[in-house]
């Protein structure tokens, strides 16, 4: 296998961190410590991990309402993420964004975005900046979105723009089979969403989104093309969310039990463990020590969030504009 030991360790750490972050975040949500709606991505660890394994802080990603996995794979701090979900001043966005708007521009993360499809042209714009500045080889745009967003017009506009301008963009469609409760077999006109790429003059690749090695390989090829100035690629990553659409959603109401079992058998983390131990690439001891570190990190993230202060009420008015905070005074 053509992956360094360090990269394998990073992949395992990242996938396990995503899984445990989502589970921990849900526990905290049900304890009443989250201030709003959360959309867990457990089950979908392979796509963000296998793609972001090829990226640096100079590359940009756009994300979705189900964005915790993208954030973690792009290197965001889980303490600041947990504090943000708890609405605290120490949160990644000072408690003003919440789960659906976590961003870290210093890490090349353009923000989770709660309008389905709306972040897609932002990644195209980041790629436009790279092309404008002649730095495509070190800065590309990756747009993460789901099968639901594949029906949004702005995706199709963005694909056309990226193709005619030959921009360094990866369209990473995480097809988890459901847009909220509506199945993709009902809402998507094609068997493979990736087949639509052909109409926009770019390669479209169907990838097993439960296999992080398959994602890593397909993403590596697409990203190398982008960095070489050869334009965009569309990846359709067939994956599955174990949880409902949002924290309180019970997917059993609209999904059959055997379907979830099928995907759990193909769990990205479990299969990674089997493969690296059977091929003697990593030891069971090393895997355990990574898991132990992540468990410790999650305990710390929760403590950090719980012990952090609430934002100052005055921050209600700040950062609406760069040049001033609240131009309209005296309304109360």
Q: Yes or no: say if 65 and 100 are a contact pair by the CB < 8 Å rule.
A: yes
For position 110 contacting another protein by CB under 8 A, the verdict is yes
Nearer to another protein, 43 or 98 (CB): 98
Applying CB under 8 A, the site for another protein has a residue count of: 52
Query: Closer to another protein at the Cβ: 169 or 268?
Result: 169
Q: Which of 97, 168, 204, 244 binds another protein (CB under 8 A)?
A: 97
Nearest to another protein of 152, 271 (CB atom): 152
Residue 313 interacts with another protein (CB under 8 A): yes or no: no
- Which of the stretches 97-105, 252-260, 267-275, 284-292 binds another protein when contact is defined by CB under 8 A? 97-105
Which of 32/330 has CB closer to another protein?
Answer: 330
**What distance in Å separates the CA atoms of residue 236 and residue 50, rounded to the nearest whole number?**
13
If one asks whether residue 95 binds another protein (CB under 8 A), the answer comes out as yes
Q: What is the DSSP string of 15-57?
A: HHHHHHHHHHHHHHHHTT-S-S-----TT--HHHHHHHTT--T
Binding to another protein (CB under 8 A) within 152-211 occurs at 153-154, 157-158, 160-161, 164-165
Q: Measured between alpha carbons, how far is 39 from 244 in angstroms, rounded to an integer?
A: 8
- State yes or no: residue 310 binds another protein (CB under 8 A): no
- How many helices and strands, by DSSP H and E, does the chain display? 11, 7
For residues 99 and 180, what is the distance between their CA atoms, to the nearest angstrom? 17
* 118 interacts with another protein by CB under 8 A: yes
Nearer to another protein, 97 or 204 (CB): 97
CA pair distance 38, 248, nearest whole angstrom: 9
Q: Pull the structure tokens for residue 250.
A: 């019970």
* 57 CB-contact burial (10 Å; exposed 0-12 / middle 13-18 / buried 19+): middle
Q: Can you give the binding site for another protein, defined by CB under 8 A?
A: 60, 62, 91-97, 101, 103-105, 110-111, 113, 115, 118-133, 141, 153-154, 157-158, 160-161, 164-165, 318-324, 327-328, 330
């Amino acid at each position: 296998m053509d992956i360094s030991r360090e990269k394998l360790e990073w992949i395992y750490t990242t996938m396990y961190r995503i899984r445990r972050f989502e589970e921990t975040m849900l526990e905290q949500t049900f304890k009443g410590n989250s201030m709003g709606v959360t959309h867990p991505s457990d089950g979908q660890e392979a796509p963000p991990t296998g793609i972001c394994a090829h990226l640096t802080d100079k590359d940009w990603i756009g994300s979705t309402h189900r964005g915790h996995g993208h954030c973690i794979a792009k290197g965001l701090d889980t303490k600041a993420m947990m504090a943000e979900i708890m609405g605290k001043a120490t949160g990644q966005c000072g408690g003003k964004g919440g789960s659906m708007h976590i961003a870290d521009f210093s890490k090349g993360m353009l923000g989770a975005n709660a309008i389905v499809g709306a972040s897609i042209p932002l990644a195209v714009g980041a790629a436009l900046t790279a092309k404008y500045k002649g730095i495509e080889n070190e800065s590309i745009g990756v747009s993460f979105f789901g099968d639901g967003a594949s029906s949004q017009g702005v995706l199709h506009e963005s694909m056309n723009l990226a193709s005619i301008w030959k921009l360094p963009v990866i369209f990473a469609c995480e097809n988890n089979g459901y847009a909220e409760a509506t199945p993709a077999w009902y809402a998507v006109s094609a068997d493979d969403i990736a087949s639509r790429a052909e109409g926009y003059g770019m390669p479209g690749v169907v990838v097993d989104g439960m296999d992080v090695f398959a994602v890593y390989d397909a993403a590596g090829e697409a990203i190398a093309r982008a960095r070489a100035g050869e334009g965009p690629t569309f990846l359709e990553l067939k994956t599955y969310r174990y949880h409902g659409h949002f924290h309180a959603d019970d997917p059993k109401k609209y999904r059959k039990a055997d379907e979830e079992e099928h995907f759990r058998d193909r769990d990205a983390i479990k299969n990674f463990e089997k493969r690296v131990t059977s091929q003697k690439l990593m030891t069971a001891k090393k895997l355990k020590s990574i898991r132990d570190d992540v468990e410790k990190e999650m305990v710390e993230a929760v403590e950090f969030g719980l012990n952090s202060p609430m934002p100052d009420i005055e921050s209600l008015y700040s950062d609406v504009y760069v040049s001033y905070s609240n131009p309209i005074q005296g309304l109360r």
